[in-house]
A and B are shown apart, each in its own frame.
Chain A
Amino acid sequence: MTQSAVTIDTQRPGIPFTRLSFVELRKSFDTRAGRWFTISILILAFAAMLIQTFLVPAGAAQDLNDMALVQNSLLGIFVPIIPILLVTQEWGQRTALVTFSLEPRRGRVVLAKLVASALVVLGVLIVSVVIAVLGTALAGGLRGIEVDWNLSAQMLRNIFIGNAIATLLGFGIALLLMNSPAAIVTYFVYMFVVPTVLNVAGAFLDWFKDIVPWIDFASAQEPLLDSGGMSGEEWAQLVTSSLLWVGVPLAFGIWRWLRTEVK
């Protein structure tokens, strides 16, 4: 056999990014954990819609906007877990060994995972809006409530922004911790413990109290869904707190993803 028979072909086309992204999308659904997590949160959202449609006093929350808001506030809690599961499976199940053998340029893999996560989250959001429409129709049709079909464009945009931040948050924590239970626990600490600690600290320290709104990530998101809209200062606070709590872990997480030795 001649040597030329085994020369590496450096002119061959690499793996196109879209293909890589679709593979990652497939990986979000081809295990029971990934598939059922997404299905479960949608079932939960559907159940919430039924409660809102049939059990809440008539006219209190059956407008389409109300429906969409409830859907979002429920799903919003779980959205960051979608990227967490997709990223940490590579380390928990050690499939990174195979993934990086097939695509050694890890930066492309991490981007493909982000695209796949975003697509899943977008899909969940679209389904949740469909559920909200269904709930509104049921309330109007079966209970005979006079419902408002207006869907605020501003609210939709803010829901989109909120979920984009949530996706990046889960993504960053997952990259940084490389372990699903740790990442999920950290995420809940982020959402429920950190705001409390910050506010307690603010109550004792006067100088800190003024800083809290700028670094309290959970509270800075709340005005996103206010009907009154966000003030300039509130936008600025959303940006600063997100940079701190989402940007920093994401930056270190990507650095770790690119550098970690795969065993």
Chain B
Amino acid sequence: MITVENLTKTYGQYRAVDDVSFVCRPGQVTGFLGPNGAGKSTTMRIIAGLTPADSGSTTIGGVRYHDIPNPGTQVGVLLDASAQHGGRTGREVLTVGARTMGLPASRVDEMLELVSLSASESKRRLRDYSLGMRQRLGIAHALLGDPKILILDEPANGLDPAGIHWMRTLLRTYADRGGTVLLSSHLLHEVEIIADELIVIGRGRIVAEGTKEELLHAAGTYVKAVPEHTEQLRSALDAAGIAVVVREDGLQTEASADEVGRAAAAAQVALAELRRADGAGLEDMFLSLTSDTQREQPTTGVQS
């Protein structure tokens, strides 16, 4: 279990992490989602004891990272797959890790096999690795000491779709065995595939958290009337006090499907579609949750 409480970190005037609290439970893959620069990496570095926090605390299983003996055998950490010596071979990187943790050399071969790095690939130098290969090696490094907890920063970055599904299976199996996983991503579709729980962060603050289903549900209901009733549907929902926005050729609302259905029936509107807003809704949610906190704003311009 990873516990983060009221964590705050500032760099000069800039609040990288602002009063962040959350919990990652065993048996679950928790996705830490947010745009670039939202504070994900800083939070994870603080958890791993690499960056001091200004205030607040982080513990793993109730213990500060610094107080964990031989931490590599209890917490697997991958903070940056490219932060390895370019002149070492993949095998050597794992060997250095295994030696540090006091593991047998056979563990290196097991991990190479687990992440599907071939014998010849393992003998190549890191500077000749693609990002996807580095990520696989980084995962292998994090899993070397057979830890019960994993902290992975952008592990799917650079993986192809097949690689992302591979990671999903790997982490799913890991969590099902009772492991705890915290992984970050700036891409919604990655997290959507891999994680069960979501923590959404923007400009250092947590803007939403919950299970994938809960957050999906929060995106609301999509409703579409038969073509001749399009106008009537709109006025019926207005009359029922249900706020809507036009999406595609239908309407989207935060109201439940039940409420929308009753309002439509009362006005004798024939519906063509009535369903929970789907994956695209989660995407809208992600964009809307982070729109006021992300960088790509046309009105922002250059600030002093």
Given A12-B70, A15-B70, A89 and B62 contact (CB-CB distance below 8 Å) = no
Chain B residues, CB < 8 A from A3: 1, 26
| Contact assessment for A97 and B83 in the assembled complex, using a CB-CB cutoff below 8 Å | yes
Across the interface, A8 reaches (CB within 8 A) one of B51, B60, B92, namely B60
| A102 CA / B82 CA spacing, docked (Å) | 17
Do most interface residues of chain A lie in helix, strand or loop, or is the interface mixed? loop
Cβ < 8 Å to B, chain A residues 26-59: 26-27, 30-33
B69, B85, B100: the one within 8 Å of A93 (CB): B85
- Complex-state Cα separation, A12 to B70, whole angstroms: 7
Chain A residue with minimal CB distance to B175? A1
A97-B80, A98-B141 known; A5+B178 contact, CB < 8 A: yes
Bound complex: CA A22 to CA B100 (Å): 9
On whether the beta carbons of B69 and A13 are closer than 8 Å, the reply is yes
A206: B residues at CB distance < 8 A: none
Residues in A with CB closer than 8 Å to B52 are 261
Closest to B51 in A: A261
**Which residues on A sit within 8 Å (CB–CB) of B1?**
3, 6
Number of contact residues on A: which range applies? 35 or more
Interfacial chain B residues near A102, Cβ < 8 Å: 71-72, 97, 100-101
- A89: chain B residues within 8 A (beta carbon): 85
Name B24's closest neighbour in chain A (CB-CB): A6
List which B1-52 residues lie within 8 A (CB) of chain A: 1, 26-27, 45, 48-52
A96: min CB distance to chain B, Å: 8
Q: Are A6 and B100 in contact, with the CB atoms below 8 A?
A: no
Docked-complex contact B80 and A12, CB < 8 angstroms: no
What residues on B are CB-neighbors of A22 within 8 Å?
Answer: 99
Task: Give a binary string over A8-21; 1 marks a CB under 8 Å from any B CB, 0 the rest.
Answer: 11111111100110
- A104 x B83 contact (CB < 8 A): no
Judge whether A95 and B61 touch: CB under 8 Å: no
**Are the C-beta atoms of B84 and A93 separated by less than 8 Å?**
yes
Verify B100–A20 contact, CB threshold 8 A: yes
Question: A10 and B96 in contact (CB under 8 A), knowing A30-B88, A261-B52?
Answer: no
Looking at B49, B62, B82, the one whose CB has the most chain A CB atoms below 10 A away is B49
What is the total of A-B residue contacts with beta carbons within 8 Å? Answer: 119
- Choose among B27, B96, B178 the residue that contacts A30 (Cβ–Cβ < 8 A): B96
Residues of A within 8 A of B60 (CB): 8
* B66 and A31 contacting across the interface, CB-CB below 8 Å: no
Alpha-carbon distance between A29 and B127 when the two chains are bound, in angstroms: 17
- Does A227 touch B at the CB level, under 8 Å? no
State whether A100 touches B50 (Cβ < 8 A): yes
Q: Taking the complex as formed, is B185 at the interface, i.e. its CB lies under 8 A from any CB of chain A?
A: no
B70 touching A14, Cβ below 8 Å? yes
Instruction: For the complex formed, measure the closest distance between the CB of A8 and the CB atoms of chain B, giving whole angstroms.
Output: 4
Query: Which residues of chain B are near A20, meaning CB under 8 Å?
Result: 100
Whether A23 sits at the interface, judged by CB under 8 Å, is: yes
Q: Is the CB of A10 within 8 A of B63?
A: yes
- Contact: B73 with A12, CB < 8 Å? yes
Q: Are B63 and A27 within 8 A (Cβ)?
A: no
Indicate whether A130 reaches chain B with its CB closer than 8 angstroms.
Answer: no
B68 interface hit (Cβ, 8 Å): yes
When chains A and B are docked, how far (Å) is the Cα of A12 from the Cα of B61? 14
Is the beta-carbon distance between B99 and A23 smaller than 8 angstroms? yes
Q: Is the CB of B100 within 8 A of A95?
A: no
User: Are B79 and A101 touching (Cβ within 8 A)?
Assistant: yes
Contact flag A7-B62 (CB < 8 Å), given A15-B100, A101-B72: yes
Chain A residues within an 8 Å CB radius of B56: none
Across the interface, do A8 and B61 meet the contact criterion of CB distance under 8 Å? Answer: yes
**B137: min CB distance to chain A, Å:** 11
Q: What is the minimal beta-carbon distance from B60 to any residue of chain A, in angstroms?
A: 6
The distance in angstroms between the C-alpha atoms of A93 and B50, with both chains bound, is 16
Q: Verify A262–B74 contact, CB threshold 8 A.
A: no
B66:A104 contact, CB within 8 angstroms = yes
Tell me if A256 is interfacial: C-beta within 8 Å of chain B: no
Which of A13, A16, A32, A101 is close to B87, meaning CB atoms less than 8 Å apart? A32
Name the distance in Å between A80's Cβ and chain B's nearest Cβ: 21
Q: Which residues does B use to contact A, with CB under 8 Å?
A: 1, 26-27, 45, 48-52, 60-63, 65-75, 77, 79-80, 82-88, 92, 96-97, 99-102, 141, 148-149, 177-180
- Could you list 5 further interchain pairs (A-B, Cβ under 8 angstroms) beyond the known A97-B79, A261-B52? A1-B26, A12-B69, A12-B70, A23-B96, A98-B83
Give the top 10 A-B pairs by smallest Cβ distance, nearest first.
A8-B61, A1-B178, A31-B87, A94-B83, A5-B178, A262-B50, A93-B85, A14-B69, A97-B83, A101-B77
